[in-house]
Amino acid sequence: MRTNRRLLGLLGVLLAFTLIATACGDDSETDATPTATDAPTTTAAGEDPPATTAAPATTEAPASGGTLIWAHEQEPPDMALDDPNNNLTITSWIWRAMLEGLYGIDSTTSYYPQLLDGEASIADNGDGSFTVTGALRSGLVWSDGDPLDTADILGTHAIIIEGCTTATADENADCTDAVYNLGDRTGSDMITSIEAVSDTEFSYTLNAFFAGWKGLFDRLFPSHVIGDAATANDLFPEWNLASGDPIPSSGAMIFDNWERGVAVELVRNDSYNGSTSPDAKNPGLAFVDGVRINFVVDTDAQINALKTGEAHVIMTQPQLAFGDRLGTDSNITLAASAGPVFEHWGFNLLNAHLADSNVREMLLFLLDKSEVMSALYTPLFGDLLPAEGLGGTYWLSNQPAYTNHQSDYDGSQIEAAQAKAEASGYVLGDDGIYEHPTRGRLTLRVGTTGGNGLRELQQQLIQAQMLKGGVEIVIDNVPGGAYFGERPFAEAALAASASLGAEGDPDIWDITQFAWVGGPWPGGQTVAYKSDSGDNPYGYQNADFDAKADECDSTVDEAASATCYDELDAFVTQLQADGSGLVVMPLTQKPSFYAYNSAELSQNGVSPDANNSGPLENVQDYQFG
Interface residue with other proteins among 122, 241, 301, 500 (CB under 8 A) is 301
- The nearest distance, CB 585 to other proteins, in angstroms, is 23
- Cβ–Cβ under 8 Å, residues 319 and 453: yes
The 3-class secondary structure across 385-398, one letter per residue, is CCCCCCCCCCCCCC
Site for other proteins in 239-278 (CB under 8 A): 259-263
Q: Indicate the residue among 260 and 468 with the shorter CB distance to other proteins.
A: 260
Q: Residues binding other proteins: what is the number (CB under 8 A)?
A: 65
Q: Taking CB under 8 A as the rule, does residue 75 contact other proteins?
A: yes
Furthest-apart CA atoms within the chain: distance in Å: 103
Q: Indicate the residue among 57 and 88 with the shorter CB distance to other proteins.
A: 88
Q: Taking CB under 8 A as the rule, does residue 535 contact other proteins?
A: yes
Residue 339, φ and ψ in degrees, nearest 5 = -85, 175
Q: Indicate the residue among 152 and 310 with the shorter CB distance to other proteins.
A: 310
Q: Which stretch binds other proteins (CB under 8 A): 74-82, 107-115, 150-158, 191-199?
A: 74-82
Q: Indicate the residue among 177 and 383 with the shorter CB distance to other proteins.
A: 177
Q: Indicate the residue among 24 and 543 with the shorter CB distance to other proteins.
A: 24
Residue whose C-alpha is closest to residue 318's, from 244, 376, 243, 234: 376
Q: Taking CB under 8 A as the rule, does residue 11 contact other proteins?
A: no
Rounded to whole angstroms, what are the CA distances from 574 to 111, 360, 527, 549, 583?
28, 10, 18, 16, 8
Q: Taking CB under 8 A as the rule, does residue 47 contact other proteins?
A: yes
- Cβ–Cβ under 8 Å, residues 604 and 288: no
Site for other proteins in 465-484 (CB under 8 A): 481, 484
- The nearest distance, CB 14 to other proteins, in angstroms, is 9
- The nearest distance, CB 110 to other proteins, in angstroms, is 24
Which residues, listed in sequence order, are joined to residue 591 by a DSSP beta bridge? 338
Q: Indicate the residue among 473 and 490 with the shorter CB distance to other proteins.
A: 490
Q: Taking CB under 8 A as the rule, does residue 570 contact other proteins?
A: no
Distance of alpha carbon 266 from its chain centroid, rounded? 22
Interface residue with other proteins among 41, 172, 181, 459 (CB under 8 A) is 181
Q: Taking CB under 8 A as the rule, does residue 58 contact other proteins?
A: no
Rounded to whole angstroms, what are the CA distances from 200 to 15, 100, 120, 143, 147?
68, 16, 12, 18, 10
Q: At CB < 8 A and 24+ separation, what contacts does 450-456 make? A: 450/477, 450/478, 450/479, 450/480, 450/483, 451/479, 451/480, 452/317, 453/319, 453/320, 454/317, 454/318, 454/319, 454/320, 454/376, 455/343, 455/513, 455/515
Q: Taking CB under 8 A as the rule, does residue 297 contact other proteins?
A: yes
Q: Which stretch binds other proteins (CB under 8 A): 90-98, 291-299, 339-347, 595-603?
A: 291-299
| Secondary element (H or E) of residue 357 | helix 357-366
Q: Taking CB under 8 A as the rule, does residue 304 contact other proteins?
A: yes
Q: Taking CB under 8 A as the rule, does residue 558 contact other proteins?
A: no
Q: Which stretch binds other proteins (CB under 8 A): 146-154, 175-183, 429-437, 580-588?
A: 175-183
Q: Indicate the residue among 128 and 183 with the shorter CB distance to other proteins.
A: 183
Would you call 299 helix, strand, or coil by DSSP? helix
Quote the Cα angle for 436-437-440, to 5°. 55
Q: Indicate the residue among 27 and 199 with the shorter CB distance to other proteins.
A: 27
Q: Taking CB under 8 A as the rule, does residue 295 contact other proteins?
A: yes
Q: Taking CB under 8 A as the rule, does residue 376 contact other proteins?
A: no
Q: Taking CB under 8 A as the rule, does residue 305 contact other proteins?
A: yes
CB neighbour class for 39 (10 Å; exposed up to 12, middle 13-18, buried from 19): exposed
CA-based torsion, 458, 459, 464, 470: positive or negative? positive
Q: Taking CB under 8 A as the rule, does residue 83 contact other proteins?
A: yes
Interface residue with other proteins among 195, 199, 238, 408 (CB under 8 A) is 238
Q: Taking CB under 8 A as the rule, does residue 516 contact other proteins?
A: no
Q: Taking CB under 8 A as the rule, does residue 310 contact other proteins?
A: yes
Residue whose C-alpha is closest to residue 44's, from 357, 263, 342, 370: 263
Contacts of 24 (CB under 8 A, 6+ apart): none
Residue 16, φ and ψ in degrees, nearest 5 = -60, -45
- The nearest distance, CB 483 to other proteins, in angstroms, is 10
Site for other proteins in 184-223 (CB under 8 A): 184-186
Q: Indicate the residue among 181 and 541 with the shorter CB distance to other proteins.
A: 181
Cα–Cα distance measured from residue 2 to residue 560, given in angstroms and rounded to the nearest whole number: 91
Q: Taking CB under 8 A as the rule, does residue 171 contact other proteins?
A: no
Rounded to whole angstroms, what are the CA distances from 189 to 163, 185, 212, 213?
11, 6, 13, 12
Interface residue with other proteins among 12, 183, 400, 451 (CB under 8 A) is 183
Q: Taking CB under 8 A as the rule, does residue 508 contact other proteins?
A: no
Indicate left, alpha or beta for 470 from its phi (over 0: left) and psi (-120 to 50: alpha).
left
Q: Indicate the residue among 190 and 362 with the shorter CB distance to other proteins.
A: 190
Q: Which residues make up the interface to other proteins (CB under 8 A)?
A: 2-3, 7, 10, 18, 21-28, 30, 45-48, 71, 75, 77-78, 83-85, 163, 175-186, 237-238, 259-263, 294-298, 300-301, 304-305, 307-310, 481, 484-485, 489, 527, 534-535
